[in-house]
Amino acid sequence: MIGVPVARVFGIEIRVQLGWVLVLALIGVIAVEQVSILDPDLDDRLTWILGGLVAAGFFLSSVLHDLAHAIVARRRGLDVKAIAISFFGGSTPLDPTAPDARDDLAIAISGPLASIVVAAVLLGAMFALVGPTGSLDAPAGVLAVLVFLNLVLGLVNLIPAYPLDGGRIVRALAWARTGSERAGWRASSLSGRISGLATILVGAIVFAVDQVATGMMIALTGWFLILTANAVKDRIRLDELVGDFVVADAMEPDPITVHPSLTIDTFAAQLLDGESPMTAVPVVTGDEVVGLLGVGQVRRVRRDRWTETRVEEVMAAPPKLSFIGPDADLKGALEQLQRAGLDGLPVIDDGRLVGVLTRRGIGRLVQARKGGGPAAPDSTDGPAAQEPGGGSA
């Protein structure tokens, strides 16, 4: 799963990527420079403390931005267990997505609105500190920087280019107007390409007026937006390929299962074998599925420790691991698989394990459809093949 957990708010796990360390360090240094300009006589230690407060304030602002998405999603009936804090509020695989266009619009717009409200509150506090003198001292300067950062966080996210919230807003609006989520994605892809080209043009103009570094950064941002728009086109194509399938069409039926007390050396090599159809193994105790072990978990363990590492020590377990039914929509299941960051999901029918949905299984289905072959994957080939009824390692 994306990032590392740092807190839990309203029952929602807050996860943060390690790259935040560099972002906050950069913001802190910039804030120190600004505070030093405002008050050159300020003690160096106090200046760095104020810079640290700006960095912490920006991080909290980003948390509030993404938390607003999650809270609105919950109010709209979605089950949100975790969020990943992105650097500038953009979409992440953990972001909640509603099955209804109007709900999705409310979720998308809540983040930018939260950032703008925070900026307004901080602006009021700044004016209160400035008072009748009208002089901007160091504490008021800290608030001014945070006002600017929150405005950037809110307004930049309204740019109509996915993964920014503006791209999600365009998608939801087009979805609501046409009744087709696919049409919404097409509109988002188009607006993203237009936004990217416009950003590159702005970068070229800035570059031409001798702001070389700034112009190059703006142009690179535009190029990123275009690449993301192209990725959205790929997503639309994938939707066209799997949109009318259910989980049972792509799952691997009657999978091999393992007990949590086993050491991973008994099957790790087979999981890592690129020719093997098995990439994720359900972990069971009796008839109950308690976890799942995939290629990702095995790769985190050094080969010389396989014989001493038990399955239960590295397996993915609830709530990180969720279960799906065989009749569930495959497109939604794929999104669930991507959000979880796992190699597979157990498929449960009436409390009984009937299969496992893996990325490789979905890939076989997509390739079969592209090539005009059979839609359902063949699960009886390769070294992990077994008779119906499954087996247990």
Verify that 10 and 123 share a domain, yes or no: yes
Verify that 22 and 153 share a domain, yes or no: yes
> How many of the other CB atoms lie within 10 Å of CB of 293?
26
> What's the pLDDT tens digit per position in 304-336?
888 899 989 989 888 778 898 999 888 878 877
Both structure tokens of 362:
């979905």
Residue 24 domain-assigned? Answer: yes
Split at pLDDT 50, 70, 90, the class of 239 is: confident
Reduce the DSSP state of residue 351 to 3 states and report it. coil
How far apart, in whole angstroms, are the C-alpha atoms of residue 225 and residue 205?
Answer: 18
Chain CA centroid to CA 12, Å:
15
Verify that 76 and 8 share a domain, yes or no: yes
Residue 185 domain-assigned? Answer: yes
Q: Are 166 and 157 in contact (CB under 8 A)?
A: yes
Alpha helix ranges (H) inside the chain: 20-38, 44-75, 101-130, 138-156, 165-178, 181-208, 212-242, 247-250, 268-272, 295-299, 311-314, 330-340, 359-371
- Nearest Cα neighbor of 161 from 72, 90, 73, 62 is 90
- Whether the pLDDT of residue 372 is over 50: the answer is yes
Residue 380 domain-assigned? Answer: no
Reduce the DSSP state of residue 26 to 3 states and report it. helix
Verify that 217 and 281 share a domain, yes or no: no
How far apart, in whole angstroms, are the C-alpha atoms of residue 216 and residue 143?
Answer: 29
Write down the mean pLDDT value for the chain.
82
Most confident of 62-71, 121-130, 338-347: 62-71
b/e burial code for range 74-91 (CB count within 10 A of at least 16 → b): bebebebbbbbbbebbbb
Collect all residues with Cβ–Cβ distance below 8 Å to 172 and sequence separation of at least 6: 101, 102, 104, 105, 108, 184
Residue 166 domain-assigned? Answer: no
Looking at the structure of the chain, the number of domains it has is 3
Verify that 255 and 208 share a domain, yes or no: no
**DSSP, residue by residue, 293-304:** EEHHHHHTS-GG
Verify that 251 and 234 share a domain, yes or no: no
Q: What is this structure's pTM?
A: 0.69
Q: Residues of the chain with pLDDT > 90: what percent?
A: 26
How far apart, in whole angstroms, are the C-alpha atoms of residue 383 and residue 172?
Answer: 45
How far apart, in whole angstroms, are the C-alpha atoms of residue 182 and residue 240?
Answer: 9
Verify that 222 and 93 share a domain, yes or no: no
Domain CATH code at residue 292:
3.10.580.10
How far apart, in whole angstroms, are the C-alpha atoms of residue 318 and residue 327?
Answer: 21
Verify that 222 and 285 share a domain, yes or no: no
- Whether the pLDDT of residue 222 is over 80: the answer is yes
The arithmetic mean of pLDDT across residues 272-298, rounded, is 83
- Whether the pLDDT of residue 172 is over 90: the answer is yes
- Nearest Cα neighbor of 253 from 322, 335, 326, 341 is 326
> How many of the other CB atoms lie within 10 Å of CB of 386?
14
Indicate the DSSP class of residue 287. Answer: T
Both structure tokens of 354:
């009937």
Last residue of a domain, one of 93, 123, 158: 158
- Whether the pLDDT of residue 85 is over 60: the answer is yes
- Whether the pLDDT of residue 370 is over 60: the answer is yes
Residue 314 domain-assigned? Answer: yes
Residue 169 domain-assigned? Answer: no
Verify that 40 and 133 share a domain, yes or no: yes
Verify that 18 and 146 share a domain, yes or no: yes
Flag the least confident range among 89-98, 151-160, 197-206, 347-356.
Answer: 89-98
Domain that holds residue 145: 4-158
Residue 232 domain-assigned? Answer: yes
Both structure tokens of 298:
């095995």
Last residue of a domain, one of 186, 212, 242: 242
Chain position carrying tokens 């939604």: 332
Verify that 40 and 57 share a domain, yes or no: yes
Chain position carrying tokens 């740092």: 6
Both structure tokens of 124:
């009021």
Verify that 118 and 64 share a domain, yes or no: yes
Last residue of a domain, one of 105, 128, 158: 158
Residue 388 domain-assigned? Answer: no
